[in-house]
Amino acid sequence: MTRRRWIADEISGNTAAVIGAHADHLVRSLRARVGQEFDIVVNGVVRSGRVSSVEDHRVEFELGEEIVSNVVATNLTLLLAIFKFDRMEWAIEKATELGVIRVVPLIAQRTDTHLASAAEKRVERWRRIAAQASEQSRRVAAPEITLPTKLRDAITPVDSLKIVLSEVEQQVSLRQVLDEHRASKDLSLAIGPEGGWTQAELDLLQKEGWISVSLGPTILRAETATIASVAIAMSYTI
């Protein structure tokens, strides 16, 4: 049976701990008790862990041997224009499960002004969601979730294969570009807001070396486009 994985909040020698709401979830949901075994991630390394103490808001583990863990071959950074928060949370959760290493919330020209102004206060929630999804999907680390950034500041300089989903692109598909750049292990993928990119933004992206691609003839919601494009991109690591 596959053991549940937890990312340690505190580490000291051969002892690790999860604390706060993190520990409360372990106690309530899995009835953590002394002697129970889990996989514990410490500084990006997976080790076996045996529960040594259970207290209010704190569960401690005695760490054992290192466990070999698969590492995703592609480093995928997701530049995600901010959209309705409930849908964006879902997109971040699923993108984390699929293996993205970094999420940059973008403020685009068509980003709703109220969402843009409130986004910075949502970052900690997005990080918690990503951390929980990382443990559920047995990652060795949660993705970085940056502070909201304007498009111009986020796209330069970026040293990777740079792809932007575009509703106006009709000739070049995402799969086609990935096929042509199979040797690229660092990938940045930009997804626009509800309403799409403006022509000025597409011109800026092109100037900075971003390749416009299509996911097909239908217009997808932002969260659907996120999951579809990330899944396609990560399939090239298999």
- Are 143 and 198 within one domain? yes
> Given the DSSP bridges, would you call strands 102-107 and 144-145 parallel, antiparallel or unpaired?
parallel
Region 26-44: mean pLDDT is: 86
d(CA 148, CA 118): 10
Query: Which residue in the block uniquely carries the two structure tokens 């969601």?
Result: 129
CATH assignment at residue 80? 3.40.1280.10
pLDDT of residue 45 exceeding 90: no
Asked if residue 150 and residue 84 are part of one domain, the reply reads yes
162 shares its domain with 201: yes
Q: What is the pTM of this model?
A: 0.82
Q: Tell me the residue range of the domain where 118 lies.
A: 75-235
**Residue-wise pLDDT tens digits, 120-144:** 999 999 999 999 999 888 888 889 9
Percent of the chain with pLDDT over 90: 61
Q: Are residues 43 and 136 in the same domain?
A: no
Are 131 and 202 found together in one domain?
yes
With bands split at pLDDT 50, 70 and 90, how would you rate the model's confidence at 205? very high
Do both 203 and 113 map to the same domain? yes
| Domain end call among 66, 96, 113 | 66
- Rounded CA-CA distance 12/28 in Å is 25
Domain of 24, CATH number, reads: 2.40.240.20
Across the beta sheet with 37-42, what order do the strands follow? 5-7, 37-42, 45-55, 58-66, 15-19, 10-12
Please tell me whether residues 229 and 130 are part of one structural domain. yes
**How would residue 212 be classed by pLDDT, with cut points 50, 70 and 90?**
very high
Q: How many domains does the chain have?
A: 2
Asked if the model's pLDDT at residue 206 lies above 60, the reply is yes
Give the three-state DSSP class for 176: helix
Count other C-beta atoms under 10 Å from residue 167's C-beta: 17
AA identity, residue 185:
K
Separation between Cα atoms, residue 91 and residue 126, nearest integer Å? 10
